[in-house]
Structure 1
Amino acid sequence: MTENETRPTAPASEDSRPYVVLGGGPAGLTAGYLLAKRGERVIVLESTDQVGGIARTEVRRAPNGGEYRFDLGGHRFFTKVREVDDLWLEIMKGEFLLRPRQSRIYWRRKFLQYPLEGMDVLKKLGPVDLMRAGGSYLYAAVKTKVRPQPEETLDVWVSNRFGRWLFTQFFKTYTEKVWGVPTSELRADWAAQRIKGLSFFSAAKAAFLGNKGNEIRSLIGEFHYPRFGPGQMWERMKSDIETRGGEVRMNAPVTRVLIRDGVATGVIAGGETIEAKAVISSLPLGVTTRITDPEAPAEVRDAGRGLRYRDFLTVSLVIDGRDLFPDNWIYIHEPGVKVGRIQNFRSWSPWMVPNDDEASIGMEYFCFEGDSLWNMKDEDLVELAKSELGQMGLGDPSKVTMGFATRVHKAYPVYDGEYARNLEVVKEWLAQTPNLVQVGRNGLHRYNNSDHSMLTAMRAVDNLLDGTRHDIWAVNAEAEYHEEDGSSTGGQGDRNAANPYPYREAPPLNEREAATESAS
């Protein structure tokens, strides 16, 4: 639904209490924006001094003027959910770039194009490894038909679709680096959600015939991106909420959610009690189960604590000289280094780097809060990143002119062997308080991208204001919400009638300075 096609503003209710939204990430801000847009009182409470959550943009001042911008995690804006796409355009108003995707896999000191390209695969793998991959796949295909095995864990799910050889070479090392546990302990749900539609056959077909029409979601060829990084969208959304009369309070952690007779009546933040008509929470489920008043039952709190998360940190480096590689990011499948992925920020947007004489990259490390990597001093993390950059032959450590580390809490919900049971316990408890609604990635313990996290907030607002009965837990789980669903249009599409704001092409680098609009 666009700015020009909005629902009529709801008349002011006799109940003057605001809707209270917990968390200023993509889901929380979306809920706050849509509530304010429809004339409702809304207060968004963010515990830190910056909106955007794990999708925020870090900014560092360059010694010679300008700013370096760092995207934590890399956020491609691609969706086939038309209403999410329309909302992005509505917020960004011409500040959305249409960018080419380029990603590669670094494996055995070689680069493999990703999406796969037939001749590149033939050249890099060679005939022996290709025979191993093909033979392993054929064996798996026959085995799954003759003696099918329950696909409960990630290693079985992937091996059945790609063969054991490819699983061991490409999936196992990288996946265990990301999650910090053996693939045999990860549930198949994660693979089914994140790489659905991709198999040995479909990947091989895409490699030799191309991924026409972006049939395989994981293999999209282009995406959209805010000119000054994803943080630009969240800052604009915050400003729009405030312009429409809503509040976004920073440094306002919530310490209690008040529930009386099965109704959420308010929250306590910073010692202040804020009455609420309803509470929309993007807090991690484990946090929500621990801060209610009265206290949640012991089994619910135990289930909340049992929902685990993977944290990560980015070591951002500024390097003297031109870009080290043209990719948006490179997946590091090398077992001999700790880094899991490397971003090149200029490939996301030319405005992320203030000059043409330096490269700016992000070395991403996956860890658990409190482990040796997480607790490493910032200067030691910078030295580690420089060392591994040189070890892989991707850059000269001596040319690094600046570096810093940024830690990200609870970046990825872990789909371990107990998560499904724990999640059901928490869901049953939440169902007893219909106006306490969880949204977003951590709010639902679901590994959603930004578009589906925002869609959960949209559905929550519809349920609260219009009396609809959307199953928010089903977003990105059932066919009607999948990006592959043909009934949902989106992406670039026909913008003329549906939305007045076009996508913007990034100009050549030397025209970057001609831009006059600041990243508000």
Structure 2
Amino acid sequence: MVQEGHHNHNQHKRQISKANGQEINVDVLVIGAGPTGLGAAKRLNQINGPSWMIVDGSEVPGGLASTDITPEGFLYDVGGHVIFSHYKYFDDCINEALPNESDWYTHQRISYVRYKGLWVPYPFQNNISMLPKEDQVTAMDGMIDAALEARVANTKPKDFDEWILRNVGVGIADQFMRPYNYKVWAVPTTKMQAAWLGERVAAPNLKVVTKNIVLNKSAGNWGPNATFRFPAHGGTGNIWIKLADTLPSKKTRYGEHGRVQLIDAPNHRALLGDGTTINYGKLINTMAVDSLVECMRDEELTKLSKGLFFSTTHVIGVGVRGSRPERIGDKCWLYFPEDNCPFYRATIFSNYSPNNQPQSSKKLATQQLADGSKPESSEAKEGPYWSIMLEVSESSMKAVDTPNLLRDSIAGLINTEMLSPGDEIVSTYHRRFDHGYPTPSLEREGVLTKLLPKLQEMDIYSRGRFGSWRYEVGNQDHSFMLGVEAADAIVNGAVELTLNYPDFVNGRVNAERRLVDGAQFFKSKEGIRHGDEEVPLRPVANGH
């Protein structure tokens, strides 16, 4: 293995030395201008100490939080993104990028699960009072059994499926949790671990659920995103474009000038697409870690990274002429556990901002009716317009009929009464994102506890949704702070809370605490002190 590594190393030297472009020296190189990379760059620029540069192979910053626009003028994010935050520093940076009240719309989440032709308020397990009576009985039977068994259980759940059974019972597991999570993750729940859950799944209160059934009431809003913000213009991607604009342009490289071809880790060098060589002291990587180790041509780490599982996300957009139907109303996003549609989630994207679709005065031709038939006229007509964004997962365990996915998705919208057969579709969108979700598989920690420390020994801090592969800290605020904290760790030796203590930042230790810029965190034998609080040291095992 040493000889192979030596061979790869020499091959790197030959390939990089052939580059005819310029050489640049920086203390810190940041790869990727999504939320994590921009967080790192923002913090490095603020510290105003080490020299740095951020590079990205895309022409526009944003990464997996970017926004596309169709030729007809409909906007679609890379999946269902909304802004809610666990961090004041994140809030401050976002508010600097989009500082005016008119830059934002604030929404109350209105979210439902589609089940047997009904709209059941989210979360499903808190609202079984809305189900048909027989299904209520099935759900309650399982919940009572689960509650009784939880009293005597003295072991942790061995996987996500067992966690579901212990928390909500077999009834709700079969009605919603198992089918929905398979549609989301593209793997069975038995192949996923449970440590990632944190605040993402609502644990039901048996007494409250029983009371709601007797009184025929639904439960109120739950969760960290019950209220969220959305940009007035440009979709989610506009946040990151504006934030990138706050950085000095001479330290940013996009497109071919920023595409990383090779990384010579032993010599701390990166070769870019235009032939430029960047010599770095430390590297903050935010590209997918499996892609990173391939760029390093490191056979041992590439083999190790094969143990990480991910799903691919298809984002489908449908732009419709006409006023938004009453049955759609103010709904935000909707969940679909059943097999009468390929998508697991639909977002009424036109509800987030009136600028996510063309103005009513814009004339567009009808491309097709929702039932697939051709329109009577090809003449362009005025709006108004509304839009739906759909997400479909794909993996080696869940195949997708890609050529027919748009057609099947529109049929699914009719099956679930989101569209009527005669609705006029004026715009469609379909884009496949190879790395969509970093799956919390049973094997994940075994890989990460080896891979991330091995990279860090080479002065490579791999962070972000796919850089550090922890979905539980993969939202936009988490991702941004993973970059910020990596920069702080490099410059000041600070603790990387988001990477190592996901339960803490997600509020399980202190639900109301917001992490404040400049707050003094330091390690003691007992734990991490934050002001007067002692936070127990139970880090995620990743070798640090």
Residue 160 (structure 1) aligned with residue 186 (structure 2): no
The answer to whether the aligner puts 1:456 opposite 2:479 as a matched pair is: no
Whether contact under 8 Å (1:266, 1:278) holds in the other structure is no
Structure 2 match to 1:468 = 494
| Structure 1 residue 392, shift from structure 2 partner | 2.1
- Counterparts in 2 of 1:89 and 1:303: CA distance versus 1, 3 Å: same
> 1:231-246 counterparts in 2 under 5 A?
231-243=237-249, 245-246=250-251
CA contact (8 A) 1:309 1:414 kept: yes
Q: Could you give the per-residue CA deviations for residues 158-208 of structure 1, whole angstroms, max 9, x where no partner exists?
A: 11111110111011111111122221111112334632x633449849976
Q: Could you tell me how far 1:46 is from its partner in structure 2?
A: 1.2
1:416-474 deviations in Å (ceiling 9; x for gaps): 222221111202312312x3111111011011111111111111111122232435531
Match of 1:384 in 2: 408
- The answer to whether the aligner puts 1:25 opposite 2:34 as a matched pair is yes
Aligned to 2:336: 332
Contact 2:125 2:204 in 1 (8 A): no
Is 1:401 paired with 2:404? no
Q: Separation in 2 of the partners of 1:484 and 1:29?
A: 28
Distance 1:348 1:277 in 2: 43
Q: In structure 1, which of residues 358, 364, 370 is the aligned counterpart of residue 391 of structure 2?
A: 364
Supply the distance in 2 between the matched residues of 1:454 and 1:247 (Cα, whole angstroms).
Answer: 17
8 Å Cα contact 2:183-2:393 kept in structure 1: yes
CA distance in structure 2 between the aligned counterparts of 1:43 and 1:432, rounded to whole angstroms: 21
- Aligned: 1:114 with 2:122: yes
Question: Within 5 A, what are the aligned runs for 1:19-418?
Answer: 19-39=28-48, 40-62=50-72, 67-94=73-100, 95-115=103-123, 121-122=128-129, 124-146=130-152, 148=154, 150-192=156-198, 194-195=200-201, 198-201=203-206, 204=209, 216-218=222-224, 220-228=225-233, 229-243=235-249, 245-251=250-256, 252-260=258-266, 265-270=268-273, 271-292=275-296, 295-296=297-298, 298=300, 300-324=301-325, 325=328, 326-356=330-360, 357-368=384-395, 373=400, 376-377=402-403, 380-398=404-422, 399-418=424-443
SS in structure 1 of the partner of residue 430 of structure 2 = strand
Write the distance in 2 (CA, Å) between the matches of 1:411 and 1:255.
Answer: 22
Per the alignment, do residues 206 and 282 of structure 1 end up closer, same or farther by CA in structure 2, a change over 3 Å counting? farther
Which whole-Å CA distance do the structure 1 matches of 2:463 and 2:359 have between them? 39
Contact 1:100 1:221 in 2 (8 A): yes
Shift of 1:75: 1.1
Q: Distance in 1 between matches of 2:416 and 2:496?
A: 48
Contact (CA 8 Å) 1:279, 1:436: kept in 2 or not? yes
Decide whether aligned partners of structure 1 residues 115 and 36 sit closer, same or farther in structure 2, where only a CA change above 3 A counts: same
Which residue type is aligned with residue 19 of structure 1? V
Change (3 A) 1:420 1:385: same
Secondary structure in 1 aligned to 2:405?
Answer: helix
Larger of the two Rg values belongs to structure: 2
How far did residue 297 of structure 1 move?
5.7
Give the TM-score taking structure 2 as reference length: 0.77
Answer yes or no: is the 8 Å Cα contact 1:283–1:442 preserved in 2: yes
Once the two structures are superposed, residues 26-68 of structure 1 have per-residue CA deviations (whole angstroms, 9 ceiling, x without a partner) of: 1111212222233354322212233212211111233xxxx32
CA distance in 2, matches of 1:68, 1:256: 37
Report the AA paired with residue 302 of structure 2: R
Instruction: Give the aligned CA root-mean-square deviation in angstroms.
Output: 2.8
Residue of structure 2 equivalent to 1:6: none
Show the counterpart of 2:10.
none
- In structure 2, the CA distance between the partners of 1:484 and 1:85, relative to structure 1 (3 Å rule), is farther
Q: Find the partner of 1:425 among 450, 457, 470.
A: 450
Q: Does 1:444 align with 2:468?
A: yes
**Is the CA contact 1:386–1:397 (under 8 Å) kept in the aligned structure 2?**
no
Partner Cα separation in structure 2 for residue 439 and residue 424 of structure 1: 14
Q: 1:305 to 1:455 in 2, by over 3 A?
A: same
Provide TM-score, normalisation by structure 1: 0.80
Q: Is the 8 A contact 1:312 1:368 kept in 2?
A: no
- Contact 1:172-1:183 at 8 Å conserved across structures: yes
Percent of aligned pairs with the same amino acid:
20
| CA deviation profile, 1:222-258 (whole Å, cap 9, x unmatched) | 1111222111111112222135x42132233212222
When residues 51 and 459 of structure 1 are mapped into structure 2, their CA distance, relative to the original with a 3 A threshold, is same
Alpha-carbon separation, structure 2, partners of 1:369 and 1:349 = 36
1:332 touches 1:341 (CA, 8 Å); kept in 2? yes
Q: Count residues with an aligned counterpart.
A: 454
Gaps (5+ residues) in structure 1?
A: 1-14, 492-520
The equivalent residue for 1:489 is 514
CA distance in 1, matches of 2:476, 2:270: 26
- Could you tell me which residue of structure 1 aligns to residue 14 of structure 2? none
User: Partners in 2 of 1:161 and 1:462 — Cα distance?
Assistant: 38
Gaps of 5+ in 2: 1-23, 361-383, 517-544
